[in-house]
Structure 1
Amino acid sequence: MPAHRLKTLSAMIAASVVLAACSSLKESEPYNEQEMRQRVIDDQARMYEQQEPVTGPITFYEASARALKYNLDYRLKLLESALASNLRDVTAHEMLPRLVASAGYAGRNNDSGGTSIGIEDRQVSLRPSTSEERYRTLDSLGLSWSLLDFGVAYYRTQQKADQIQMAEERREKVAQNVLQDVRNAYWRALGAQRLLPEVDGLLMRTHRALTAARAAEDQGLMPRQDVLAYQRALLDSVYMLTVRRQDLEFARAELAALMSLPPNSKMVLADTNEQPLPLVTGDVEKLERLSLEHRPEIMEEWYRKRVDENDLKIAKAQLWPNVSVNYGYQYDSNKYLYNNHWDETGVQVSINLIRLLQYPDLQKAEETQSKTDDMRRTALSMAILTQVRVGLLRYQLARQEVEFADDSLRVDKSLLDYAQSARSSNIGSELEQIRAEGRYLLSRYQREAAYSDAQAAWGRLYNSVGFAVMPEKVDNYDIKTLASEIQRTLEQQSQSNLLTVSSAATSTSTGSANVVSQQ
């Protein structure tokens, strides 16, 4: 290549580097409003994409299936599991030998070469000469393998495999939490669906009665003290009903959010007979043992211990001698070479002697790390056992609260029947009936709340034991199939490990449901 062309090429390369450096100093610009609006549209579309439409009343198990399939937190954990699996595959490739191919071009503006001088007399013995062309091409293909790189990659692959298991345990924990939230919200939302129309109707009647009571006060139709007492009772009833109505609306909104339903979606829950509250086994030791065997948090900590152990194994592996094996094929177009292509082989053993001083410290770190991991897992196990005991007690108390709410409901129903039978045309009788209906609706709300609290307490106990609630794959199931699978899993695990459903519990729940359905 001529010298002037080489100088021109060098100038162009230098100018390109300078321009690239200048352009990199340009500050990034903030997003504009159009870009932000488009991002919002894309995110909203991503939230609700590929969802099966709601075609009928939603059962508890269908609500659970929708929450577990479309809940964004759960989908994020699925992606984390997939990412951990991909990272393991990437790390596994690091155990393979390295095969490097290269091709290039070399040139200079003058000849290389040199002369020789005598060692004793320092006289020039050869005229200047060269054995290398100014411009030539180079090609090579090299294969190398390092024992140290193989060992480090092996332990890191083991770590990635354990991290996959940790991600799976976190996914299962999210699934358990989502199911617990659905169990809590579903029964409250079902109570809201049952009570909201009657609460709204009674609120309208109460407002009309309040207006009539004020008119009676102005006209002097009733003693002022009696009218004010009735107004006070009506205002208290309006306040309590309004507060309860807000709770009911929040329950429906919470359930819709858990199922990731699009805004303004119509949601009708399947109003079937209440599920009987199960009787839990009294074998607390069995529940504790099951929790220590199944809780995802403990399994995650157990896998984390192996990850920490492999970290120390990697550090130890870097202390020992490294053996590397190399093989390469080389080609050089230099016409002055006797052989333009040749094979290279080599074996090398190396060790960093200074690094051996780390070995005693690594031994101490290994012992300390093991004790720390065991203590962390033990402390977590103690907390889990406490959750199981508290969850069992809370569920037993919640069952008693349901029984008390059933008794209160029966009494208020009798009072309402009496007020309706004793109703007359005077304003006091109308007000008394409204008060009786308000008490009865509040009792129904308290009964629905007590039952939903019992279901939530049962869900927390189930969650504290740590049973799996999901099949291995979620995307392969439609909502109906997934709901059936969840129902089968929950019933099978409950009946075999936790409880037996008594006929007394069944009759109590059915009877209470019949009292509610009569209204």
Structure 2
Amino acid sequence: MGNKAAGFISTALTSAVLLSACSALEPKPYSDEQSRQRIIADQATMYAQQEPLSAPLTFYDAAARALKYNLDYRLKLMESALAADLRDVSSHEMLPRLVASAGYAGRNNDSGGTSIGIEDRQVSLRPSTSEERYRELYGLGLSWSLLDFGVAYYRTQQKADQILMAEERRRKVAQNVLQDVRNAYWRALGAQRLMPEVDKLLMRTHRALTSAREAETKGLLPRQEILAYQRALLDSIYLLTVRRQDLEFASAELAALISLPPGTKLVLADGPEPVLPQLGQSEAQLEQMSLEHRPEIMEEWYRKRVNEQDLKIAKAQLWPNVSVDFGYKYDSNKYLYNSDWMSTGLQVSMNLLRLLQLPSLNSAAESQAKTDDMRRVALSMAILTQVRVGVLRYQLARQEVEFTEDSLRVDRNLLNYAQAARSNALGSELELIRAEGRYLLSRYQREAAFSSAQAAWGRLYNSVGLDTLPTQIEKHDIKTLSREIQRTLREQEQQRLLVTAQGTPNAATQP
């Protein structure tokens, strides 16, 4: 009875363990509290250790903050560090293996055996054993494989090239961040200049619309005239509202690019506008520079070497492998004559059937090289197209700036005339509001054209592939980064983009 009870209890315990194991495999979604804690931790990571905004933000300050705090750029930095760590791991695989072991062996009966005669098949010895039931085992062995060394060698070369590829991706992200900041900064600065005036004019327009509705109710003017007046005011309100939304989006985009914490007031430095540079290089020279400096081309070039290493690894596995072993062993078995000993071994092995892969590997290597070259050539063609389009876009953007400046001058004169001819009549007030609206719209168009020209210059700069940061930086605080970005951009623009055919620097440079 006792045995049955014990069996029942053991069966119940076993069932309970199995059921708990099965329940542990069921999906368990995160709780609301875990999600809340995760959000808090992620937000803290987004805005951790940011230098506060203590002064109006210049363009170079914005670029420095974007490159330091932008999450995409920080991710690429981590990828570069990870690639370097993986290279170090691969390099250690070329070393011999030094393995230390310790263990305990036991059995519930004795091992042993008997001997029989080969000719008469008669037992010649009584059963005996030379091994203890329980014993301790220790060992320290050194082994080296030629095949493992060769594979690790090629893998390390691959990882080294992948470090270079990660660095090229980091360069590209930095260039894209600078381009996005340049585009958003000048639009946000235009928004900062125009928003107060747009808001004031919107308030005046709403008041004028209210007065027009009162005049319609009282019958002070003909109904058709007053409705036309209201229609003109509503059109002005619509245009101003749309422009105001564009301005607000620019500030929000810049705040996101520099990873500004929510609720932080963004004030931009409003100084004299930089002179739009006059491009001094020919299109052919810019194309040549783009083929030399674009990170995408360099990354594809390194990728070709990575693919070549894969094929070298596959070929290395076809040839004979030489393995060398040397080690020390200890066995606590008291029946052994020598309980410790040194062992050595040398082995040469080769899979003869794998040699059949050699023709296919040679063909694959040739096809892979052609594919890599064609991919790089196609990318180069796309980059040359970007340079040509970038040059044309920047030239057209400069012309648009000149046109909007002429329009702004005319609308300013019309506004002055409307202000001088102002009277108490509704029509006069409407004409003044229209003139102010046209003037603000011209200012908006001029700011938009200037920011578009800056963006076109940034795209051209990006299409050539010039770096944003120098190779070495002493410190990485915002002021140092801002100063280094400004110095780097000035030097590269003056030496590579603004140099005329005779080698004389162009006078029009960025601030």
After TM superposition, the score normalised by the length of structure 1 is 0.92
State the distance in 1 between where 2:20 and 2:223 align.
88
Kindly report the root-mean-square deviation, in angstroms, between the aligned alpha carbons of the 2 structures.
2.1
State the distance in 2 between where 1:121 and 1:310 align.
62
Report the alpha carbon displacement of residue 54 of structure 1 after superposing the two structures with TM. 0.4
1:241-260 aligned within 5 A: 241-260=240-259
State the distance in 1 between where 2:142 and 2:182 align.
59
Residue 420 of structure 2 aligns with an amino acid whose one-letter code is S
Asked if residue 180 in structure 1 is aligned to residue 179 in structure 2, the reply is yes
Contact 2:142 2:327 in 1 (8 A): yes
Aligned residue for 2:476, secondary structure, equals coil
Aligned residue for 2:444, secondary structure, equals helix
2:112 maps to what in 1?
113
State the distance in 2 between where 1:218 and 1:263 align.
46
From the superposition, tell whether residues 117 and 80 of structure 1 become closer, same or farther in structure 2 (CA, over 3 Å).
Answer: same
State the distance in 2 between where 1:164 and 1:478 align.
25
Contact 2:65 2:478 in 1 (8 A): yes
From the superposition, tell whether residues 175 and 149 of structure 1 become closer, same or farther in structure 2 (CA, over 3 Å).
Answer: same
Contact 1:413 1:440 in 2 (8 A): yes
From the superposition, tell whether residues 368 and 259 of structure 1 become closer, same or farther in structure 2 (CA, over 3 Å).
Answer: same
Aligned length: 494
Q: Deviations over 1:104-123 (max 9, x none)?
A: 11112222222222212222
From the superposition, tell whether residues 320 and 339 of structure 1 become closer, same or farther in structure 2 (CA, over 3 Å).
Answer: same
2:341 maps to what in 1?
342
Report the alpha carbon displacement of residue 24 of structure 1 after superposing the two structures with TM. 5.9
2:153 maps to what in 1?
154
Report the alpha carbon displacement of residue 16 of structure 1 after superposing the two structures with TM. 9.5
1:204-243 aligned within 5 A: 204-243=203-242
Q: Deviations over 1:362-413 (max 9, x none)?
A: 0000000000000000000000000000010000000000000000000000
Contact 2:236 2:437 in 1 (8 A): yes
1:141 maps to what in 2?
140
Asked if residue 97 in structure 1 is aligned to residue 86 in structure 2, the reply is no
Residue 340 of structure 1 aligns with an amino acid whose one-letter code is S
Contact 1:294 1:467 in 2 (8 A): yes
1:427 maps to what in 2?
426
Contact 2:281 2:496 in 1 (8 A): no
2:40 maps to what in 1?
41
Residue 488 of structure 2 aligns with an amino acid whose one-letter code is T
1:23 alignment partner, one of 21, 24, 27: 21
State the distance in 1 between where 2:19 and 2:111 align.
34
1:355-370 aligned within 5 A: 355-370=354-369
2:462 maps to what in 1?
463
State the distance in 2 between where 1:17 and 1:307 align.
53
1:164 maps to what in 2?
163
State the distance in 2 between where 1:116 and 1:266 align.
94
From the superposition, tell whether residues 475 and 357 of structure 1 become closer, same or farther in structure 2 (CA, over 3 Å).
Answer: farther
Gaps of 5+ in 2: 1-9, 500-504
State the distance in 1 between where 2:18 and 2:272 align.
72
State the distance in 2 between where 1:122 and 1:147 align.
47
Report the alpha carbon displacement of residue 143 of structure 1 after superposing the two structures with TM. 0.4
State the distance in 2 between where 1:264 and 1:443 align.
31
From the superposition, tell whether residues 320 and 133 of structure 1 become closer, same or farther in structure 2 (CA, over 3 Å).
Answer: same
State the distance in 2 between where 1:78 and 1:474 align.
15
Aligned residue for 2:126, secondary structure, equals coil
From the superposition, tell whether residues 221 and 147 of structure 1 become closer, same or farther in structure 2 (CA, over 3 Å).
Answer: same
Report the alpha carbon displacement of residue 131 of structure 1 after superposing the two structures with TM. 1.4
Asked if residue 396 in structure 1 is aligned to residue 406 in structure 2, the reply is no
From the superposition, tell whether residues 37 and 142 of structure 1 become closer, same or farther in structure 2 (CA, over 3 Å).
Answer: same
Aligned residue for 1:416, secondary structure, equals helix
From the superposition, tell whether residues 16 and 342 of structure 1 become closer, same or farther in structure 2 (CA, over 3 Å).
Answer: farther
Asked if residue 408 in structure 1 is aligned to residue 395 in structure 2, the reply is no
Contact 1:69 1:474 in 2 (8 A): no
1:514 maps to what in 2?
none
Report the alpha carbon displacement of residue 19 of structure 1 after superposing the two structures with TM. 4.3
Contact 1:113 1:128 in 2 (8 A): yes
Q: Deviations over 1:178-205 (max 9, x none)?
A: 1111101000100000000000000000
From the superposition, tell whether residues 68 and 234 of structure 1 become closer, same or farther in structure 2 (CA, over 3 Å).
Answer: same
Report the alpha carbon displacement of residue 281 of structure 1 after superposing the two structures with TM. 2.2
Residue 241 of structure 1 aligns with an amino acid whose one-letter code is L
1:443 maps to what in 2?
442
Residue 127 of structure 2 aligns with an amino acid whose one-letter code is P
1:200 maps to what in 2?
199
From the superposition, tell whether residues 441 and 112 of structure 1 become closer, same or farther in structure 2 (CA, over 3 Å).
Answer: same
After TM superposition, the score normalised by the length of structure 2 is 0.93
Asked if residue 304 in structure 1 is aligned to residue 282 in structure 2, the reply is no
Aligned residue for 2:290, secondary structure, equals helix
1:132 maps to what in 2?
131
Aligned residue for 2:343, secondary structure, equals strand
Contact 1:469 1:489 in 2 (8 A): yes
From the superposition, tell whether residues 497 and 94 of structure 1 become closer, same or farther in structure 2 (CA, over 3 Å).
Answer: same
1:515 maps to what in 2?
none
2:53 maps to what in 1?
54
State the distance in 1 between where 2:216 and 2:117 align.
133
Compare 310-319 and 164-173 and name the one that shifted more. 164-173
Aligned residue for 2:181, secondary structure, equals helix
State the distance in 1 between where 2:412 and 2:140 align.
91
State the distance in 2 between where 1:152 and 1:119 align.
49
Contact 1:163 1:307 in 2 (8 A): yes
Compare 24-33 and 153-162 and name the one that shifted more. 24-33
1:63 maps to what in 2?
62
Asked if residue 73 in structure 1 is aligned to residue 72 in structure 2, the reply is yes
1:386 maps to what in 2?
385
From the superposition, tell whether residues 17 and 228 of structure 1 become closer, same or farther in structure 2 (CA, over 3 Å).
Answer: closer
Report the alpha carbon displacement of residue 222 of structure 1 after superposing the two structures with TM. 3.5
Contact 1:133 1:335 in 2 (8 A): yes
Compare 185-194 and 126-135 and name the one that shifted more. 126-135
State the distance in 1 between where 2:411 and 2:20 align.
82
State the distance in 2 between where 1:223 and 1:173 align.
64
State the distance in 2 between where 1:260 and 1:83 align.
24
Contact 1:203 1:241 in 2 (8 A): yes
State the distance in 1 between where 2:19 and 2:101 align.
28
Residue 195 of structure 2 aligns with an amino acid whose one-letter code is L
1:268 maps to what in 2?
267
Q: Deviations over 1:190-241 (max 9, x none)?
A: 0000000000000000111112223333334334443333222221111100
Report the alpha carbon displacement of residue 427 of structure 1 after superposing the two structures with TM. 2.1
Residue 221 of structure 2 aligns with an amino acid whose one-letter code is M
Gaps of 5+ in 1: 1-11, 511-519
Contact 2:498 2:506 in 1 (8 A): no
From the superposition, tell whether residues 163 and 261 of structure 1 become closer, same or farther in structure 2 (CA, over 3 Å).
Answer: same
% identical aligned pairs: 74
State the distance in 1 between where 2:322 and 2:490 align.
58
From the superposition, tell whether residues 53 and 475 of structure 1 become closer, same or farther in structure 2 (CA, over 3 Å).
Answer: farther
State the distance in 1 between where 2:162 and 2:396 align.
40
Residue 115 of structure 1 aligns with an amino acid whose one-letter code is T
